[in-house]
Every structure is written in C-alpha cells, then in structure tokens.
Structure 1
Amino acid sequence: MGRYDIHADAKRVFETITAGGAAILPGDIGYGACASSSEALQRLFVAKRRAPHKRHAMVGTYELHREVHVLGHREQEIVDAITIDAGLPLAVIAPFHADHPVVAAVESETLAASTVGDTLAMLVNGGRFQEEVVGLTHRAGIPLLGSSANLTGTGTKFRVEDIQQPILDAVDLVIDYGLRKYHHYRRSSTMIDFSTMEVVRIGTCYELISDIMATQFGIELPADPGRDVLPSGHLREQAAAS
C-alpha cells in the first residue's frame, strides 16, 4: 500500500501499447481503453459494440494539441481559457496537420475511423496519468487513441470494478487508480467542434466551460437538458435520432 507510481505505471502502459496491445488507464473524467495499432483498436471497437459512425479520439496533451490542431487566434484563445487558465478537461475537435509525425503514424484505416471530414478529436487535460503516458508516446512519435472503457450506451465508468467483462477481456493491461476525480458528473468529456463552434457532447465541467464561453467570449452554448433527457450528453446522436 502507498502512493501510486505514476511514472512506472505509465511506462507499463507505453510498453503494452508499443507491443501492439491495448490498456485501460485512469483519467480524471473516467477510465479509458486505449491502443495504437489498428488490430488492438478494432478489438476494442468490437468489445464495446460500437455503431459504425462512432469514432476513436486521440488522447493528447496541450502540447500535442498545439502541434496537431489548426485553429484561428480566437478559437485558440477559447481553448487556452478553458484548458490553461481554468485547467478544465476538454475534447477539442478541429482541423489538423495530417503530416504531423504522430498523426502520420496512424494507420490509414484507423485514421479514417478517427476523423470526421477534416477534423480530429483530441482530449486535453485528461489528468496526470494520461499526461505521463502521452508524454512517452508523443516523444516516440506514437499515436494513442481510444474511448471510454465501457460498453456503448452504458456510460463512462469511474471505478475499474464497474467496467464490463467484455471490455476487460479485450485489453492486455488494466491500471486501477480507484474512483476518478470527476465521477460526480457521470459523463465523459465535453466535446466542442471548434471548426463550427458546435457542442458535440455535453459532459464533464460543462457548466464551467459554458460560463467561460459566455463571460469571456460572448458565446452562449446550448443549455444542458440534464441527464434524464440526455444521459450520454451526445448532441449529434440526439440529432441523428430525431
């Protein structure tokens, strides 16, 4: 018993990923299932029972986001206000540099399943552990992609014991760091498409992000209808179903 060894555990994840495996790792917004190889990502896709339109997101850091994403000055100011000034987690969707080494290392079929048009989603501020892992993969020029560690439609899991067995069976390594920081939201990350300024998913810290957008930039985001109305927080899914 004692403190978690974040550096050593991150290295274990890195070694698993570079060997072509998949891992479940702790993030502030819940547990994620991640991989780099197409085979491992497909294994996760099948285990999660995802619909064909679902996409992988890139697990990132602020540094990687700045290198990969292409944003205008105002859009970058908004991202910085949320992720740097307020220190909040955010999934940024934006046009990207396809020739960046980390993006170029994504296999073509995986990249096609991870992008919408000319945009790529990347989680920024996922927590200390994810920052450590992405630091290793970034320096090695290896992409880290994935999604929440749960069966599709069942909600983000904030304890390893709540992750369904098919997901556990699909990975090669599980890092259990107990209850995750933003468990009280019971949702994954808030996702915003900065190419259209569209909220794709209402998630963790949405009320704080909305306040920043309104008070600092004069942008009014849609009101959160609540989990009874929108359990997953995914506005694009709701629009597609209507």
Structure 2
Amino acid sequence: MGRHDVNADAKRVFDTITAGGAVILPGDIGYGAGASSSEALQRLFVAKKRAPHKRHAMVGNYELHREVHELGSREQEIVDAITLDADLPLCVVAPYRADHPVVAAVEAETLAASTVGNTLAMLVNGGRLQEEVVRLCHQAGVPFLGSSANLTGTGTKFRVEDIQQPILDAVDLVIDYGLRKYHHYRRSSTIIDFSTMEVVRIGSCYDLISDIMARQFGIRLPVDPGREALPSGHLREQTAPAT
C-alpha cells in the first residue's frame, strides 16, 4: 500500500504493448483499453462487441498532438485554452500528418480503423499515467491506440471492479488506480472535430469546455440534453463516410 509508482506502471504498460499485448489502464476520464498491434486491438474490438465502423482513438499528449495534428491558428488557440490554460481533458479530431513517425508506425489496417477521411482523433490530458505512457511511446516511435474499457453501449467504467469480464479476459495487464477523477460526469471524453468545429461527443468537462469556447471565442456549443436523454453523449458518430 502507498503511493502509485506511475513511472514503473508506465514502463509495465509500455513493455506489454510493445510485446504485442493489450492493457487496461486508468485515465482521468475513466478506464481505457489499449494496444499497439493490430492483433491486440482486434482482440479488444471482439471483446467489446464493437461495431466495425467504430474508430480507435490515439492516446496522446499535448506534444504529440502538436506534432501530428495540423490546425489553423484559431483552432490551435482553442485547443490550447482548453488543454493548457484550463488543463482539461479533450479528444481532438483534426487533420493529421501521415508521415509523422508515430502515425507511420501504425499498421495499415489499424490506421484505416483509426481515421475518418483526413482526420485522426487523439486524447490530450488523459491523466498522469497516460501522459507517461505516451511519453515512452513517443520517444520510441510506438503508437498507442484504444477506447474505453467496457462492452459497447454500457458506458465508461470508473472502477476496475465495474469492468465486464470479457474485457478483463482480453488484456494482458490491468492497472488499478481506483475511482477515477471525473467519475461524476459518468461519460468518457468530450470529442470535438476541429476540422468542422462540431461536437462529436458530449463528455467529461463539457460544461467547462463550453464555457471557455463561449466566453473566450464566441462559439456556442450545443446544449447538453443530459444523460437521461443522451446517455452516450454522441451527437455524431466518428465513423468512416458511407461508400
């Protein structure tokens, strides 16, 4: 018992995913399940009973976001106000650099399942452990992708004991840090597509994010109808266009 050893836990996660495994790890917005290899990510997809059109998100940090995403100056200002000034979690959807070493290291089938057109979703400010894992991955040129650690449609889990057994069985390592920081929102990350300035999903800290965008940038986001009316928070599916 005692304090969590974040650096040691991050190394365990890094070693597991670089060996081709899958992990469950804590984030401020709930528990996530992630991997690097296509095989491990597919295993998670099957365990989650996730529809094929659903996208992976890249687990990132601010530095990786700046290197990978290509945003206009105003859009970047908004991301900076939310993630740097207010230190809030945000999943940023934006055009990306396919030639960035971390993106280029994503296997073709995984990249196809992680992008929509010319955009890639990346979580920024996922929490201290995720930040350290991403730092190690970034340094090694290793991608880290995933989604929430739950059966599809059952909502984000904020304690390991609430994660369903098929998800636990699909991973090689579970890191348990107890109840997560933003559990009171009962939703995963807020996702904003900065290529269209649309809210993809209403999630954690949406009230604070909405206030920043209205007060500082004059942008009024859709009103949250509440969890009873919109449990998932999705206003738009982050999916590939129909063909």
Q: TM-score range by the shorter chain?
A: over 0.9
**Mapped pair 1:189 → 2:183:** no
Q: CA RMSD in A?
A: 0.8
* Secondary structure, aligned partner of 1:178: coil
Deviation track 1:63-108 (CA, whole Å, cap 9, x = no partner) reads: 0000000000000000000000000000000000000000000000
What stretches of structure 1 move > 4 A for 4+ residues in a row? none
The 3 A distance-change label for structure 1 pair 237 and 141 is closer
* Secondary structure, aligned partner of 2:153: coil
Return the alpha-carbon distance in structure 2 between the equivalents of residues 51 and 185 of structure 1.
25
Deviation track 1:94-126 (CA, whole Å, cap 9, x = no partner) reads: 000000000000000000000011000000000
**Mapped pair 1:10 → 2:10:** yes
Q: Which residue of 2 aligns with 1:89?
A: 89
**Mapped pair 1:67 → 2:60:** no
Correspondence list, 1:164-203, <5 A: 164-203=164-203
- What residue identity is the alignment partner of 2:118? D
Return the alpha-carbon distance in structure 2 between the equivalents of residues 98 and 219 of structure 1.
30
* Secondary structure, aligned partner of 2:33: strand
- What residue identity is the alignment partner of 1:33? A
Correspondence list, 1:46-125, <5 A: 46-125=46-125
* Secondary structure, aligned partner of 1:213: helix
Correspondence list, 1:126-145, <5 A: 126-145=126-145
Return the alpha-carbon distance in structure 2 between the equivalents of residues 225 and 52 of structure 1.
28
* Secondary structure, aligned partner of 2:132: helix
- Alpha-carbon offset, residue 237 of structure 1: 4.3
Q: Which residue of 2 aligns with 1:22?
A: 22
Return the alpha-carbon distance in structure 2 between the equivalents of residues 142 and 234 of structure 1.
29
* Secondary structure, aligned partner of 1:146: strand
* Secondary structure, aligned partner of 2:53: coil
- Alpha-carbon offset, residue 53 of structure 1: 1.3
Deviation track 1:144-170 (CA, whole Å, cap 9, x = no partner) reads: 000000000000000000000000000
Q: Structure 1-normalised TM-score? A: 0.98
Q: Which residue of 2 aligns with 1:232?
A: 232
Flag structure 1 segments of 5+ consecutive residues without an equivalent.
Answer: none
Return the alpha-carbon distance in structure 1 between the equivalents of residues 216 and 2 of structure 2.
42
Identity of aligned residues (%): 87
**Mapped pair 1:211 → 2:211:** yes
Return the alpha-carbon distance in structure 2 between the equivalents of residues 53 and 202 of structure 1.
20
Return the alpha-carbon distance in structure 1 between the equivalents of residues 236 and 91 of structure 2.
15
Return the alpha-carbon distance in structure 2 between the equivalents of residues 75 and 210 of structure 1.
15
Return the alpha-carbon distance in structure 1 between the equivalents of residues 215 and 5 of structure 2.
39
Q: Structure 2-normalised TM-score? A: 0.97
